[in-house]
Amino acid sequence: MNAHRQVAAVLSVLSFGLGQLYNRQYMKGLILLLVEVVGLSYFINNLSHAIWGLVTLGKTPTHFETINGVATTVKGDHSIFLMLGGLITLLLLFLFVAAYVMNIKDAYRTGKKREEGHKPANIVESVRYVMDKRFPEIFLSIPILGVLFVTILPIIFTMLIAFTNYSGPDNLPPAKVLKWVGFRTFHDLIMFKTWSYTFFHILGWTIVWAVVATFTTYMGGVLVALLVNQKGIRLKGMWRTIFIIPYAIPQLVSLLVMKNMFNGQFGPINQYLGYFGLGKLPWLTDPTMAKITVIIVNMWVGIPVSMILIMGVLTAIPKDLYEAAEVDGASAFMKFRLITMPFILFTTAPLLIIQFAGNINNFNVIFLLTKGDPVNGKFQYGGSTDLLVTWLYKLTLDQQKYNIAAAVGIIIFIMIASLSIWSYRKTRSFKEEDMIQ
Amino acid sequence: MKKSLSMLAAVSAVALTVTACSSTPEETAKPSAAAATEAPKATAAATAAATTDTDMGLKPEAGAKLVVWDAPDQKAFIESMAKQFEAKYKVPVKFEEVNPPDQPAKLTADGPAGVAADVTVIPHDNLGKMVSANLYLPNDVFADQTKKENAEAAVQGATFNNTLFGYPKSVETYALIYNKDLVKTAPKSFDDVVAFAKTYNDPGKNKFAFMFDIGNFYFDYAFLAGPGGYVFGKNGTDKTDIGLNNDGAVAGAKFFASLKKDVLPVKSGDVTYDIKKGLFTSGKLAMDLNGPWTILDYKNAKINIGVAPIPTINGKPAVSFAGIKILGVNAYTKYPNAAKLFAHFATSQAAQLENFKISGQLPSNKAAAEDATVKNDELATGFLQQLKTSQAMPSIPEMGNIWTPMGAALGDIWNDGKDPKATLDNAVKQIKDTNAATK
């Protein structure tokens, strides 16, 4: 009679809610039984089809059938929808299994309580317990479900695309049925000359861009912030406002205006150079010059953000450090090198990494300013200033090479994720959270 | 379930494409082209078939509502058609602005998901690609009428694998649009253009004799094809036979590169559709290589314009890309009958004439092309003359692999004076690689 926990657990293994019923938690048991009924009916109807869809990606493509000279569309299998449907069903199955495990655990725990002589909680007590003691979990479960279906699912879906032959013009559902091709897409991207040349060149420029763009905007921000904060500078508020304006204008406006300003023949910048008797510069039309131009423009866009951050940090530096340094006879540069800069770096290191990761994917600046041009005859659908992310955009929207684009996307993700995690763990602010009180 | 799936598909599509930006104006300069091997022959003998504008007993579905995608410059015309159509069939039609070059990608994604327009424009160089993806319903009910009433070339352009898919709406090609106040008579040959440029050009003041969209192969083709280059052999159907690096094409590219020194001393990236438009409408640019889609803007700017065939190149007529604009019925439309009726209705003789009056689009309908309003229109005649020496844009799926490599190659030749032969060889190799890679 004292083996309540085993009996309850075994009954719950047989079916949701049986163990709870055995434990005389009738309401809870009935609710769990209902979950079982709904879940089973759904999976019996859908699971086999979902798995079939995921494994085969469909059999019959959509086609036309002509009946008395009138063609009608006969719907077949749409590989993409099958893949998505399969993924959704699998995610639901995962949730169902999780609930199943929890129901067994619950029956076991209640059984144990009974053995110890407690009365099992009735439904009101159970609800109250959950609301009091387990409130955070309950509250978080809703966003977690949202994240599961709105974030995780599309990410998995995108990754799966890289392992299919989903690409235009010949393999587009619903007229064609997709196939799983394993790692062939990655192999093509890295080994196949047509793609690899473009890929590695664009990858190289992406890394150069990310490093240079991050460094220039960060150091520029430090410089401007220090300048504005100098003793004896008047109208600090006005300077701050002036420097923040570039950040306040939407990039969609300012960068498209810039694009026209830098036009080699008709842009005002070259016109002015002409007035001063200087030669015209090929701002956006020469491959190397265009790279320099995007970096300069990115500084103009990015410095305000760093400036604001660093101004905030500067106010937090204890004044007595500087006073002590002055007593010791430190020069202004020494104070900057030994007090200001370490302090700024320490506080903003995580932000620096975020900015770096953001610059790897800095779509706006490149796309709006140059569209990745000037065109490069050696590249596959790419231009000299294309980053991986803008190239990916072109591959997807202009060329419909979804599988290659998905593979590039995965590679970007791996790059950014590994770099971020590695460098974040190395920063001192992560290790010594309590250094600054 | 279906609904949530398409929602999820949409969400994932967004995830897949990172971010989408609104298209910049120069995308409108991309060819929204289509093809007609030759203009509807304006001869009296043309069988101006009596238009049998019947609806073949086709009835729109109960409760049908249609959405039409078309270019911004077609808004007035489509909305006028929509009014008449609603009066006749009691079916409301909504116009949505989508640039034809953007439509293939949009329809590919939205069509199967059931959220695309019912009637769309088929940019004719995309026809093969789109039909291979089963995105259009064949033009079956009205096939005989369409074939009888439209110019042979237009019907050809709307046909793929011997099935008629589209409803031809208008024919177009680019020609020399010139400012009559600056150029008295249109130049016959490019030597005249060079001579005029010597007297007129002043880059410091942004005054130029002649401009074209240098980095866009759609326009560059005229220089390559005149001396003997071609895209695909066998009337644009043989994907293995690419003639963009033969002796003719190389000679054409050499001539094309020579224009930089004599006529247009700017980098290819600096000439955009907007900049050309600005210069032309402010009276600084004398001649522009462009299509009928710009006429409306130029007229509104009160420029006294004329249209002439493209000047000859080394004594040979320039061969431009020609096209037809075609309406197509989305294969996933909920109301196929109503959509077919509208596509037919908006491309009838009367409709094409109205379109000509509203937006200057040249009719593909034989009877409409014979109409006095078209015949007496000076601008239309200029384009029609150029159409006679134009070539249909190929519509096989591999056409999509041509634009980027060729634009890049010609840009290199123009900007950096690279060797035409080697650069074109490389571009053709790239096209072949891509064709092979998309197996």
Residue B408 contacts A where some CB pair is shorter than 8 Å: yes
Q: Which residue has the higher pLDDT, A264 or B406?
A: B406
Same-domain status, B234 and B285: yes
Q: Which residues of A touch B108 (CB under 8 A)?
A: 168, 172, 400
Q: Above 70 in pLDDT, residue B274?
A: yes
Same-domain status, B300 and B418: yes
pLDDT over 90 percentage in chain B: 42
Structure tokens of A209? Answer: 């861009």
Mean per-residue pLDDT of chain B: 83
pLDDT value at residue B160: 86
- Residue of A88, A149, A389 with shortest CB distance to B18: A389
Residue from B56, B61, B134 to probe the interface with A (highest A Cβ count within 10 Å): B134
Same-domain status, B66 and B103: yes
Same-domain status, B157 and B182: no
For A:295-354, CB contacts with B below 8 A are none
pLDDT value at residue A15: 86
Q: Determine contact, residues B267/B144, Cβ cutoff 8 Å.
A: no
Q: Nearest C-alpha of chain B: how many angstroms from A17? A: 28
- Residue B35: closest CA among B249, B297, B320: B320
Residues B140, B143, B145, B150: is their CA dihedral positive or negative? positive
| Residue B237 Cα distances to A154, A216, B36, B157, angstroms | 39, 52, 15, 12
Closest chain B residue to A396 measured between Cα atoms?
Answer: B17
Per-residue pLDDT tens over the stretch A50-108: 999 999 998 888 887 777 667 777 878 889 989 999 999 999 999 999 999 988 998 88
Q: Which residue has the higher pLDDT, B234 or B281?
A: B281
Q: Which residues of B touch A286 (CB under 8 A)?
A: 267, 415
Give the CATH number for residue B273. 3.40.190.10
Structure tokens of B223? Answer: 């220089």
Q: Above 80 in pLDDT, residue B439?
A: no
- CA A247, CA A217: separation in Å to the nearest integer? 12
Residue B92 lies in a domain: yes
Total number of domains constituting chain B? 2
pLDDT value at residue A390: 95
Same-domain status, B109 and B218: no
The mean per-residue pLDDT over the stretch B300-311 comes to 92
Same-domain status, B239 and B334: no
pLDDT band at residue A2, thresholds of 50, 70 and 90? low
Give the residue numbers spanning the domain of B198. Answer: 175-319+397-437
Residue A158 contacts B where some CB pair is shorter than 8 Å: yes
pLDDT value at residue B369: 84
Same-domain status, B309 and B411: yes
Q: Above 80 in pLDDT, residue B28?
A: no
- CA B374, CA B361: separation in Å to the nearest integer? 10
Residue B218 lies in a domain: yes
For B:219-278, CB contacts with A below 8 A are 266-271, 275
Same-domain status, B45 and B86: yes
Q: Determine contact, residues B49/B348, Cβ cutoff 8 Å.
A: no
Residue B206 contacts A where some CB pair is shorter than 8 Å: yes
Residue B415 contacts A where some CB pair is shorter than 8 Å: yes
Residue B4 lies in a domain: no
Q: Above 80 in pLDDT, residue B82?
A: yes
Per-residue pLDDT tens over the stretch B210-227: 999 998 999 999 999 988
Q: Which residues of A touch B271 (CB under 8 A)?
A: 265
DSSP string for B49-72: PPP----TT--PPTT--EEEEE-G
Radius of gyration of chain A from its Cα atoms, rounded to whole angstroms: 31
CB B8 to CB A263 under 8 A? no
Q: Which residues of A touch B105 (CB under 8 A)?
A: 397-398, 400
The mean per-residue pLDDT over the stretch B295-321 comes to 90
Q: Which amino acid is at A157?
A: F
pLDDT value at residue B70: 93
Same-domain status, B140 and B236: no
Q: Determine contact, residues A162/A395, Cβ cutoff 8 Å.
A: no
The mean per-residue pLDDT over the stretch B403-428 comes to 91
Residue A197 contacts B where some CB pair is shorter than 8 Å: no
Same-domain status, B408 and B259: yes
pLDDT value at residue A28: 86
- Residue A210: closest CA among A345, A365, A348: A365
Residue B5 lies in a domain: no
Q: Which residues of B touch A284 (CB under 8 A)?
A: 269-270
pLDDT value at residue B19: 37
Closest chain B residue to A176 measured between Cα atoms?
Answer: B133
Residue A72 CA, distance from chain mean position:
42
pLDDT value at residue B437: 67
Q: Above 70 in pLDDT, residue A429?
A: no
Mean per-residue pLDDT of chain A: 88
Residue B224 lies in a domain: yes
Residue B341 contacts A where some CB pair is shorter than 8 Å: no
Range with the poorest average pLDDT among A202-206, A379-383, B18-22: B18-22
pLDDT value at residue B123: 83
Range with the poorest average pLDDT among A193-207, B165-179, B391-405: B391-405
Backbone φ and ψ of A381, nearest 5°: 60, 20
Residue B258 lies in a domain: yes
Same-domain status, B147 and B276: no
Residue B274 lies in a domain: yes
Helix (H, G, I), strand (E, B) or coil at B179: strand
The mean per-residue pLDDT over the stretch B29-38 comes to 37
- Residue of A70, A150, A389 with shortest CB distance to B140: A70
- Residue of B16, B332, B418 with shortest CB distance to A402: B16
Read off the DSSP letter of residue B98: -
Same-domain status, B166 and B260: no
For A:365-384, CB contacts with B below 8 A are 367-368, 371, 373-381, 383
DSSP string for B102-162: GHHHHHHHHHHHT-S-SEEEE-GGGHHHHHHTT-EE---TTHHHHHHHB-HHHHHHTEETT
Q: Of the residues B374, B392, B410, which one is the last residue of a structural domain?
A: B392
Residue B1 lies in a domain: no
Q: Which residues of B touch A195 (CB under 8 A)?
A: 437
